Amino acid sequence: MGLAEIIVATIVDKITPVEFDPSPHILLPEDDPRLTVSSLLQWELRNVQLAFEKISDELLAPFKAFLNSAAARDKLARLVQYALLVPMGLLHPRRHIRANCERLREALSDARRTFRWFQGVTPLLALRPTAPVHEERRLDLWGLSVGAHLGMLTYTLLDHRRWLQRLKLVSGEASRSAARAESCLAAMHLCNLVALVRRVGMRPHECERHQERARRLLGHVLLQWLLPALRRLLPETTEQFVPPERRMAIETALSADAPPMPPPIGAERETLRTGARELMCFLQSAHIGKLFRTHDTFVGILGAVTSAMDIHRLLRPASKLD
């Protein structure tokens, strides 16, 4: 059976009921009206309509409810905006493709920036005297929380300024304002990450489990990815600093006799997810803000992952709407 026949058979199986038995049609007389082309097409058309209704109920309707939120549309545009960085980093010599991706990114960025007006109200409300942030008893956590909100407030103000500079309503370089805004955003994510680490440190048992998971993850990366890559690129140096007996010792210390870790549950899973997101957002903001540069492809992947995490968080309650 050829590839085209397999594809056609698969499509027919999807739009035709499972209980369909072709043998009665084969035994019907040739002049039976149910065997006419129009009757068969109407039968398959009804099946297609039923399939479309099912797709509409299970996919299109939840997606429409998701798009009703301005935050959801912003995260979807952010996903595309960062995903475009991946081909820009990989296809650097092809200037026409890079230029097209850059124009699309700028259009998405301007659209998102337009609908971010007055978002500075949120950090202002978080800094008011009666806000929950001022109920924090530990001075370090209070300072980190206030610093995060101030970073977000400064980011929104600089973001508005860049928008006005793009329209030439305010003097100054839009690129400089953008870099400063992203630097403030990086500072906000760094404050959130440090505060999260400090809070986890206040819970000794959870802190030990997170440290053990981090140790095993780093060991897996070292043994499975880093050492093989170094052995291919620098074989002599790798054998000198990491001989086979040392590799065996590292492997034994990291994973050989260690008991299996229980899967994270509840608050631990949310802590890991939040920490990973804050770290990735810090790296991409620091890259765009030119605090330290990594690579466009790497930042594009990080931005796409964090955007997908935000979309997944927004999509779950949206799927419950009528």
Per-residue model confidence (pLDDT) at position 214? 65
pTM of the full predicted structure? Answer: 0.68
H helix intervals, 138-203: 139-166, 174-201
pLDDT tens digit string along 162-204?
A: 989 988 888 888 888 989 999 999 999 999 999 988 887 776 6
Find the helix or strand (DSSP H, E) in which 288 lies.
helix 267-288
Cβ atoms within 10 Å of 142's Cβ, excluding its own:
15
Per-residue model confidence (pLDDT) at position 124? 87
Distance CA 166, CA 187 (A): 24
Distance CA 294, CA 298 (A): 7
8 Å CB contact between 76 and 311: yes
Low-confidence residues in the chain, pLDDT < 50: 18, 24-25, 256-257, 261, 318-322
77 by DSSP, 3-state: which?
helix
Distance CA 287, CA 284 (A): 5
Give the alpha-carbon dihedral of 190, 193, 194, 200, to 10 degrees.
180
Per-residue model confidence (pLDDT) at position 128? 87
216 by DSSP, 3-state: which?
helix
CA distances from 120 to 20, 142, 149, 153, 240 (A): 60, 20, 10, 5, 55
Per-residue model confidence (pLDDT) at position 98? 82
CA distances from 204 to 99, 174, 278, 318 (A): 51, 46, 22, 36
Distance CA 153, CA 149 (A): 6
82 by DSSP, 3-state: which?
helix
Cα separation of the two ends of the chain: 44
